[in-house]
Amino acid sequence: MKRRKISLSDFRPQLERVERRLFLKQSLSLGALTMLSGCTLKDEDAVDRLLFAMSRFNDAAQAALFNPNKLAPLYSEAEITTPFPFNAYYEEGLAPVIDGARYRLLLSGLIENKRPWSLEELRDLPQVSQITRHVCVEGWSAIGKWGGVPFRVFLERIGADMTARYVGFRCADNYSTSIDMPSALHPQTLLALDFPGLPGETKYGFPVKIRIPTKLGFKNPKFVVEIFVTNDNPGGYWEDKGYNWFSGS
């Protein structure tokens, strides 16, 4: 009796099921990297729905474990990465260039004083600097120096509702993201006005970036033009594509 030759295609259904199970197992252990495969979530796909639910579970777990008083490591001037890498969802040459003299930071949502702020007014607030590590979801990291206003100080100055759940950001490059209020009030979260790089370079976020060393890089918005406070999760550019929302580093 002639034996039929067995090929890999005979086992394709079983292999696909194993691959999915392994991916599910991996997504549970990767925390902030759960959904970073770039896949599109579809309501009709049961696996995608499960992964999305697991990502939301990870958000809740990370939020519960977050220590609002634990500081990210600090580094020395000698340890700064030069040149500091540029990173965005577009090429470096497409980074917006904003006129600092005409810039106004808009405010909305659960904020008592919603008047826009000029760059000069922001610089009149108390300033600090930090040398911390930027951790990118793509697997690289770099140490940079940022200066600016402690974000908590700014939120207090504008009369933000500190009991609200979220702070959201809209940017000049059409990027958006949002963070939880405890992360916004963390002592190292910074409304950055000074950036890595050479004097006059604007590609790292000028005139305003939100620097959050306790979160992955994509949660650190650049070219911020509007800040809002809300109790409804606003999502964000990558978060709406399935990336883990909390994304602590």
Higher-pLDDT residue of 42 and 237 is 237
| pLDDT confidence band for 36 (50 / 70 / 90) | very low
Instruction: Return the percentage of the chain with pLDDT > 70, whole number.
Output: 73
Count of Cβ atoms closer than 10 Å to residue 222 Cβ: 26
CA distance 158 to 237: 26
| pLDDT confidence band for 83 (50 / 70 / 90) | very high
DSSP state, residue 125: S
C-beta of residue 143 within 8 angstroms of C-beta of residue 79 = yes
| In the chain, where the domains are located | 8-65, 77-241
Q: What pLDDT score was predicted for residue 65?
A: 58
In this prediction the pTM is: 0.77
Mean pLDDT calculated for residue range 68-94: 94
Q: What is the mean pLDDT of the chain?
A: 84
Give tens-digit pLDDT for 188-204: 999 999 999 988 899 99
Question: Looking at the domain 77-241, which fold is it?
Answer: Sulfite Oxidase; Chain A, domain 2 (3.90.420)
Amino acid at 249: S
Mean pLDDT calculated for residue range 24-28: 43
